Structure 1
Amino acid sequence: MATIDFNAEVEKRKDALMEDLFTLLRINSAEDKAHADAENPFGPGPRKALDAFLAIAQRDGYDTKNYDNYAGHFVYENGAANDAETLAIIGHLDVVPAGSGWDSDPFNPEIRNGNLYARGASDDKGPTMACYYGLKILKELDVKLSKKIRFIVGTNEETGWADMDYYFEHCELALPEFGFSPDAEFPIINGEKGNITEYLHFSGKNDGEVLLQSFTAGLAENMVPESATAVIVGAKGLTEQLDSFIEEYQDKGLRYDLVEDGATATITLYGKAAHGAMPEKGVNGATYLAHFLDRYNFNGGAAAFLRVASERLLEDHEGKKLGVAYVDDLMGNTSMNAGVWSFDASNGGTIALNFRFPQGNSPERMQTILQAIEGVEQVTLSAHVHTPHYVPMEDPLVSTLIHVYEKHTGLKGYETIIGGGTFGRLLKRGVAYGAMFEGEPDSMHQANEMKPVENLFKAAVIYAEAIYELAK
């Protein structure tokens, strides 16, 4: 057929793409365990987002299938033989919690100065919809393909991947061997570190001069906690001490709230949120609050909880102070995010450490080292672990995607290995491909998450041609 002008085809569909994307962005699809049930396995929001996406696909003529509100898919096979290979595209419709600090309603998308602001604009509703429109162009142009396309969307990528566990267990179709996830950055992510959360457990013994009633922080294990709140009894001179502490760390932009009621004080310390795969880009409010409190005379499990945080976690994003750091020549270093914290005087405390680890390191190695730390009673592991994943540059999938990227950007492609985990790793030859461009601000998992609108359209152009080249 004649050469397709993918730029012109996206131009014709800009308004429609944005309209469909806004439909998804208006849905708060963060996991809601409190309202999860058999019909809403991750809460009503993720289920609504799945329903909305599948309704869009049905409108466009696809035969969709919903796998019990965990995940859904449709298959497009215009001309492909029955035994043809299948190219998988896997996105996700869930988001991390909005958190605080937004300049606009995170679920009422706004375009300001050419940027689309909304939770999910960049991770991952925007890229998923850009990719969907890339395939939509091929469908509407009736382009004949030699491979089938299976477009899969999940609803639990941010907090456990139980959606994909369920999908692959219940899907009647064979698992595709190759494909990509539009859930990272260009030019390509062809390597991903392993991912495991290790939980440090502390006792609740709490009989010092100052008592720690509670300590809470973190919305998700893969987010740097923006803030942390502690309730303590018996501390004096808090305002003076906090002001001095803020001054000492003025380069971190910390601030605090303090409410005192007799001998009881509630302190909230604010830092800066960031994606847990890049903890160095945030300011972990929990580690700084623990460091501040460690100056007081706590005892027992409360003292251990604060001491480990202050001495071993503060300003260390690789686990060096814990002794678990490990570097591989190909995949780089181990990264660590202290993502979710809890302590109460009755039940003790837990700190969830989310590790992104290269080949050569292992969850078991780190667990053994962590168990030996003074004050840590026990270390348990999350049920799900992702092992390191790598697809070499010479693989035709990778080389094709790199070529399309270079054609439309004029930039040289290169391989990238990340600490973040994407659905690309679910496939034997799976990668992540876009939609964040070089030089684009990374606002994923942060307040005021945004995506430059023109970059969304540019990504749709790249996705359209990439799908065409892989499946023509």
Structure 2
Amino acid sequence: MKYQDAIIHDLTQLVAIPSVRGEAVEGMPFGKAPAEALNRVLQMAADMGFTTKNVGNYAGHAEYGEGNEVAAVVAHMDVVPAGEGWDTDPFTLTRKGNLYYGRGTADDKGAAVVALYCLKALKDENIQSKRRLRVIFGAGEETASNDLEMYLKSEQMPVMAFTPDSEYGICNREKGIMRLAVSSREHSSAVVREFSAGTVVNAVPAKAKAVVMCTDEVLARLQSAASRMEGDFSFEKTEDGTEITSIGKASHAMQPQEGFNAATHLMKLLGEIFSEEELGGLISFVNRNIGTELHGESLGVYVSDEESGPLTLNLGLAGIYDSSASVGIDIRYPVTAKGKDIFASIAEKALQYGLETTLSQENKPLFLPESSPFITLLQDAYAAVTGKPAELYATGGGTYARAFEGRAVAFGPFFPDEPDRRLHNTNENIDIDRFMVHAQVCLEAMYRMLTQ
């Protein structure tokens, strides 16, 4: 693609902005850095000659073409926290061979820049339009915010849209997403003084720490149990007892089997030595009802369907301190299941431990039928570039497609035979050669959306 150098140039600028959600300030609902990234990409679009609009720093767009209808490609400019363990500076685009490393390269700044340059390619060729085509840039996707909800309050609903925030073929089924907190108003453990894990609820925590009050004899028992258990634990004596560190492996909450949960394995270790009375209600609830399971079996919420597969459950956050104790849980449930039944079951079990369950977010499942003309359009675009069919698939991931009332799907940017690009993990990267093939598919799809 002749725009490759320019894409890398602009991606370098965007990766350098650590657009993790921060404290809201006036006119910047997700903080300064996401707003900066959004305004930077909109300025890039304006410099290309596009009409642009920023809707309250929630989201914005670049637009080309004429017509009463709108079609759209939707990407996001915010990122998850960098986390630990990078081999490069996460906010400096770094090339190693064909790979470009940096937070946001794969999720989702790389795809956002490619979509913008596809729009530029159509403009440069003066392609005549049947409808207007927008690239929409959101600023709060990673925290499941109301960015597109606020955008669509004032902007026209597209008749068709895709988000390059998943993989090929076409994701026409997205599991329901439920995020909840199980908490206690007071810290009830006699031995656990502190427990902390995770940075976001939608990622498997790669690190957890617990400060426990214990004698040398109990410490020796903990170390012995750790040597027999799955996990990577280290121990450091403190004035009050021992600090235990658990090291796991991060992964996206939609595929918890790809990670190793440092928090639940550390709680399991504590449960090997201390009684439930000593650990308190919250850790006891987790050990008995969640443990290291990934599908909610012991919690009584396991469900699966042919369309989208099994429910997945991730304990992504844990915080136990002097005056409070809570865990954050991310659940992805099948398209035929009912979120309210899942929540009710969890709340009932938590109540038995004196715990309160709060629903912080629920996104209903997405299901766009195979017979949709838009599905055919995308399948034809994919086949025209790759010579292969675009299979339909389901995901536990949550994308912007849900915001468009049955008019959108996830489509790209990664191909089925590509290795893990470490989304939400350390050393996030793109293979530039494969990404330029995605750019061709994206351009073909956008051309058809503009003209058909």
Same fold (TM over 0.5): yes
* CA deviation vs aligned residue, 1:152-201 (integer Å, no higher than 9, x gap): 111110102221122122x2x32113111111101111111111112212
Confirm or deny that 1:28 pairs with 2:12: no
- Does structure 2 conserve the Cα–Cα contact (< 8 Å) formed by 1:203 and 1:300? no
Q: Secondary structure at the match of 1:411?
A: coil
Q: 1:224 aligns with which of 184, 200, 204?
A: 204
By how many angstroms is 1:207 displaced? Answer: 5.8
- Classify 1:320/1:376 alpha carbon distance in 2 versus 1 (closer, same or farther; 3 Å): farther
* CA deviation vs aligned residue, 1:42-85 (integer Å, no higher than 9, x gap): 122111111110110011001211112121112211xx33x2x2
CA distance in 2, matches of 1:50, 1:123: 15
Q: 2:41 aligns with which of 47, 50, 53?
A: 53
Q: Secondary structure at the match of 1:416?
A: strand
CA distance in 1, matches of 2:217, 2:118: 61
Q: Secondary structure at the match of 2:362?
A: coil
Q: What is residue 155 of structure 1 aligned with on the other side? A: 139
Q: 1:87 aligns with which of 28, 49, 71?
A: 71
Equivalent positions of 1:231-310 (< 5 A) are 231-237=211-217, 240-241=220-221, 243-250=223-230, 254-297=231-274, 302-310=279-287
By how many angstroms is 1:299 displaced? Answer: 5.6
CA distance in 2, matches of 1:398, 1:273: 33
- Classify 1:446/1:238 alpha carbon distance in 2 versus 1 (closer, same or farther; 3 Å): farther
CA distance in 1, matches of 2:436, 2:18: 24
Q: 1:415 aligns with which of 385, 392, 395?
A: 392
Q: How many residues align?
A: 447
Q: 1:360 aligns with which of 332, 336, 341?
A: 336
Q: 1:438 aligns with which of 416, 419, 428?
A: 416
- Counterpart residue identity of residue 331, structure 2: F
Q: 409-418 vs 440-449, which deviates more?
A: 409-418
Equivalent positions of 1:202-217 (< 5 A) are 202-206=184-188, 208=190, 211-217=191-197
By how many angstroms is 1:409 displaced? Answer: 2.2
- Does structure 1 conserve the Cα–Cα contact (< 8 Å) formed by 2:222 and 2:273? no
CA distance in 1, matches of 2:47, 2:187: 59
- Classify 1:243/1:403 alpha carbon distance in 2 versus 1 (closer, same or farther; 3 Å): farther
By how many angstroms is 1:464 displaced? Answer: 0.7
CA distance in 2, matches of 1:118, 1:324: 37
Q: 1:426 aligns with which of 403, 406, 409?
A: 403
Q: What is residue 193 of structure 1 aligned with on the other side? A: 175
CA distance in 2, matches of 1:245, 1:117: 38
- Does structure 1 conserve the Cα–Cα contact (< 8 Å) formed by 2:296 and 2:313? yes
By how many angstroms is 1:89 displaced? Answer: 1.4
CA distance in 2, matches of 1:421, 1:205: 33
- Classify 1:315/1:299 alpha carbon distance in 2 versus 1 (closer, same or farther; 3 Å): closer
- Counterpart residue identity of residue 214, structure 1: E
TM-score with structure 2 setting the length: 0.94
Q: What is residue 86 of structure 2 aligned with on the other side? A: 102
- Counterpart residue identity of residue 364, structure 1: K
Q: What is residue 356 of structure 2 aligned with on the other side? A: 378
Q: What is residue 6 of structure 1 aligned with on the other side? A: none
Q: 1:17 aligns with which of 4, 7, 27?
A: 7
- Counterpart residue identity of residue 18, structure 2: N
CA distance in 2, matches of 1:186, 1:207: 47
Q: Secondary structure at the match of 2:180?
A: strand
By how many angstroms is 1:391 displaced? Answer: 1.0
Q: 278-287 vs 174-183, which deviates more?
A: 174-183
Q: Secondary structure at the match of 2:269?
A: helix
Confirm or deny that 1:132 pairs with 2:111: no
Q: What is residue 167 of structure 1 aligned with on the other side? A: 151
CA distance in 1, matches of 2:81, 2:344: 32
* CA deviation vs aligned residue, 1:323-380 (integer Å, no higher than 9, x gap): 0111122222211111111112322x21111111123322321222112323152211
- Does structure 1 conserve the Cα–Cα contact (< 8 Å) formed by 2:163 and 2:411? yes
- Does structure 2 conserve the Cα–Cα contact (< 8 Å) formed by 1:197 and 1:381? yes
- Counterpart residue identity of residue 20, structure 1: D
* CA deviation vs aligned residue, 1:389-448 (integer Å, no higher than 9, x gap): 111122121112122222322333211111101001211210011001112122101111
- Counterpart residue identity of residue 62, structure 1: F
- Does structure 2 conserve the Cα–Cα contact (< 8 Å) formed by 1:27 and 1:48? yes
Q: 37-46 vs 368-377, which deviates more?
A: 368-377
* CA deviation vs aligned residue, 1:210-267 (integer Å, no higher than 9, x gap): x2111111111111111111111125346644554444345xxx33343312333222
- Classify 1:216/1:268 alpha carbon distance in 2 versus 1 (closer, same or farther; 3 Å): same
Equivalent positions of 1:315-464 (< 5 A) are 315-347=292-324, 349-373=325-349, 374-382=352-360, 384-427=361-404, 428-442=406-420, 443-464=422-443
- Does structure 2 conserve the Cα–Cα contact (< 8 Å) formed by 1:200 and 1:376? no
By how many angstroms is 1:100 displaced? Answer: 0.6
- Classify 1:255/1:299 alpha carbon distance in 2 versus 1 (closer, same or farther; 3 Å): closer
Q: What is residue 37 of structure 1 aligned with on the other side? A: 25
- Does structure 2 conserve the Cα–Cα contact (< 8 Å) formed by 1:406 and 1:413? yes
CA distance in 2, matches of 1:350, 1:189: 34
- Counterpart residue identity of residue 335, structure 2: Q
- Classify 1:124/1:235 alpha carbon distance in 2 versus 1 (closer, same or farther; 3 Å): farther
- Counterpart residue identity of residue 219, structure 1: T
- Counterpart residue identity of residue 463, structure 1: C
